[in-house]
Every structure is written in C-alpha cells, then in structure tokens.
Amino acid sequence: MIPFNKPHLTGKEAHYMYQAVYNGKLSGNGEFTKRCQRWFEQRYGFRKTLLATSGTDALEMCAMLCDLKPGDEVIIPSYTFVSTALAFLREGAKVVFADSMKRNPNIDAELLESLITSRTRVIAPVHYAGVACDMDAIMAVAEKHNLLVVEDAAQAIDSYYQSPITNHQSPLGSIGHLAAFSFHETKNITAGGEGGLLVVNDERFVRRAEILWEKGTNRAEFFRGEVNKYGWVDMGSSFLPSEVNAAFLWAQLENLDDIQAKRRALWETYYKQLAPLAEQGHFSMPDLPDYATNNAHMFYLVFPDYEKRTAFIKYLKEHGVGAVFHYLSLHSSEYYHTRHDGRALPECDRYADCLVRLPLFYDLSLDEVAYITNTIREFYAA
C-alpha cells in the first residue's frame, strides 16, 4: 500500500534531540526554540515569531490577541480544518462562514463586503494547499473596514504571494497582522508530530503575544533582563513546545530547501502525467493563480461529482494507493449547523464532495508516482 502520507526524517533529528536532552534544559524557550524562531524571522522577514505546540495553539494565540468581545464576528472560509473556527469560537466570537472560489478552495474575496457588519472584527483567510489567497483584495477590504487579518498559513510554509499591484513577492504569513503555521506530521515539515508557529507582523501585538505564550507572565522580559522580577500580568496558557520538539524542527528547517525541491518534483510529475486526463474532462487539476507560488504541500484533483470521486478513491484503494478526501463543510457540521445563518455555500460543498488528495510526501519515489498515475489511466481506460 502506498500510504497517503509518511513523515520524513532528514537524519539529524535524533542528533539534535540528544543535544537538547543533554543541554540540561528541556522546557520551552531554550536554545533550539530561539534558533528556530531566528531562522523564520531572518528567512521570511516576520516581525516576531513564537514556536507553539500546534498550529491550533498558534491560531488560538492569534484569536486571543484579537481581543474579541462577545458577539464580535469573524469571517472564515467554511472549507477548512476545524481549528480555524475553534480558535475564534473559544474567544466567544460568532463565526461567519464564507464560500470558496470557483477556481480553487480559497476564500472568495469578492464575497467579503457582503458579509461585513458593524460587529465584524477579523478576516481569517486560509491558504489552502499552500496556495495564496487573493491577499491584495482581502487586505483592501480589511483596511477599509478597520479589520484584523489572521492568516491561517498552516499549509503554507515557504510559499509566496506576488502582488499584481506592486509586483512585490511576500512570504505567506507575512501579510496579515497575525499568522499561524503548523508543523503537524502531515505538513511539509514537522516538529516531531505536532508543532506550530505564531507570527506577529503588527508591532502592537508583540509584547502581549510573548505574555500569552508564557502563561500570562512577563517571564520572557525577565530573562532578557528588561525587568528585575516577573509575575502574572495577563491571560495566557502553556503554548511553548518542549526543546525536544524544537530540536526536531531544527533538523527539518536545515533541510527545508531539499524537502521543498523533492516535493515540487513529485508535484510536477503528477501534474504532467495527469494533465491529459484533465483535458478530457475527467477531473480538474490544482489551480495556481498568477499571484501564487507552489509550495507543493498538496496534490489534489476535483471531480465532477460525489459518485465519481467515491469510485475513484475505491479503485485506487483496491490497487494499493491511499487517496483521501477532506473537509466536510463546517457550516453544515453537527456542531455548528444550528448556529450558521442558513446561507448556502455551494462551492464549499462542491469541494467537500468532489476533492481528492493523492499521496505526496518526501519519501515517495518517482516510480511510485508513475505507478499511481498509470493506475489512474487504467481506471479511465477500463
């Protein structure tokens, strides 16, 4: 069976974890944590980064930093992982679900104006499959209505938005006021199974982010010698990962360019091999707008209907290939449907019914991709 995903080891993880263990400081905010954070800040120009125990936790910190009041509204796409919604719901906000675009599963920026009310505070776009949302449009709406933008960049490491207005290329996660990345084992790089990163781009949130991160204390300032004692100054929680996880992540960061090059080669092979079948109308291929780069997080296909997708997944499974679908529309979920305002979100439902993800991970071989694409050709020849 070719699995859908397999976490990749660069070879240095155990070495750095051993170092972390024998450094004698295992709790968070040690040498490896600082090394990882500096790396992100230098490579991508993020104003301030804090490692977190998961992408979900990083999103929760974003939501806490937005300082929402009961009844405040947050606009998020319905086609996303539950964490995007949960983070804001936990803060007492009302989640207003937006539909996806026709061309790809990202939030449809043209619909945003129609969803904004006097209570709207935040827009949280999700860069699905690491493909940029239409950030110029989203930031313009946010500026006009004085809203915060939280990028769910969980899938978007090392991916960019190229502004058609300024031609400037910005790393995803650097455009909104706040952003969250995930290092779960299903993402391009992992911190040993679970991990995340909070990105603070707006100076106003830097100090409070560090305090929330350090369980509501100003301990980080104390360790930098900026205050002579530390105490409880705000809300907070335990968002810091252990140094063991940071050490694991460091081994992956050192090899990011190699990981990305390999994933792109696999992605492009899929694309080339499957394009003729897409041209025959069997399914549509991943969509990359001119303003987006490809970080090869995911290779997905979109089928004409639910039955065709189901038959496709079944055939691949019978031939030893683990293809999966995902994201049931959050607006019609068991937990939230009674609180949703009843608007139909047809594009979101279409992706929930018709999208399939093919295996894509570092240790997948080009031979295996050839086997998978041949199997798909046979399915349509039969």
Ligand X SMILES: *Cc1c(COP(=O)(O)O)cnc(C)c1O
Binding site for ligand X (CB under 6 A): 54-56, 80-81, 83-84, 126, 152, 154-155, 182, 184, 196
Residue placing its CB nearer to ligand X in the complex, 131 or 266 = 131
We find the least distance from the C-beta atom of residue 194 to ligand X, in angstroms, to be: 6
Residue placing its CB nearer to ligand X in the complex, 182 or 245 = 182
Which residues are within 8 A (CB) of 380 and not within 5 positions of it... i.e. 6 or more apart? 277, 280, 282
We find the least distance from the C-beta atom of residue 276 to ligand X, in angstroms, to be: 30
The answer to whether 172 and 31 have CB atoms below 8 angstroms apart is no
C-alpha distances in Å from residue 297, one per residue of 57, 59, 239, 264, 326: 21, 19, 25, 9, 15
Q: Give the burial class of 145: count Cβ atoms within 10 A of its Cβ; 0-12 exposed, 13-18 middle, 19 or more buried.
A: middle
Residue placing its CB nearer to ligand X in the complex, 37 or 217 = 37
Residue placing its CB nearer to ligand X in the complex, 236 or 241 = 241
We find the least distance from the C-beta atom of residue 84 to ligand X, in angstroms, to be: 5
Residue placing its CB nearer to ligand X in the complex, 138 or 376 = 138
**Phi–psi pair at 107, nearest 5 degrees:** -60, 140
Residue 325 in tokens: 């679908």
We find the least distance from the C-beta atom of residue 196 to ligand X, in angstroms, to be: 5
**In the block, residue with structure tokens 């190229």:** 162
Phi-psi region of 180 (alpha: psi -120 to 50; beta: other; left: phi over 0): beta
We find the least distance from the C-beta atom of residue 80 to ligand X, in angstroms, to be: 5
We find the least distance from the C-beta atom of residue 378 to ligand X, in angstroms, to be: 31
The string of DSSP letters for 108-160 reads -GGGHHHH--TTEEEE--B-GGGPPP-HHHHHHHHHHHT-EEEEE-TT-TT-E
We find the least distance from the C-beta atom of residue 157 to ligand X, in angstroms, to be: 11
The answer to whether 119 and 72 have CB atoms below 8 angstroms apart is yes
Residue facing ligand X at closest CB distance: 55
How many angstroms separate the CA atoms of 182 and 42, rounded?
19
We find the least distance from the C-beta atom of residue 57 to ligand X, in angstroms, to be: 7
Residue placing its CB nearer to ligand X in the complex, 73 or 152 = 152
Q: Residue 87 corresponds to which amino acid?
A: A
Residue 70 in tokens: 């009961």
The string of DSSP letters for 30-87 reads SHHHHHHHHHHHHHH--SEEEEES-HHHHHHHHHHHTT--TT-EEEEESSS-HHHHHH
Residue placing its CB nearer to ligand X in the complex, 56 or 217 = 56
How many angstroms separate the CA atoms of 35 and 11, rounded?
19
Which residues are within 8 A (CB) of 339 and not within 5 positions of it... i.e. 6 or more apart? 94, 95
Residue placing its CB nearer to ligand X in the complex, 184 or 357 = 184
We find the least distance from the C-beta atom of residue 25 to ligand X, in angstroms, to be: 24
Length of the chain as a residue count: 382
We find the least distance from the C-beta atom of residue 22 to ligand X, in angstroms, to be: 28
How many angstroms separate the CA atoms of 237 and 191, rounded?
20
Residue 364 in tokens: 């997948």
Residue placing its CB nearer to ligand X in the complex, 20 or 51 = 51
Residue placing its CB nearer to ligand X in the complex, 126 or 240 = 126
Residue 99 in tokens: 């539909």
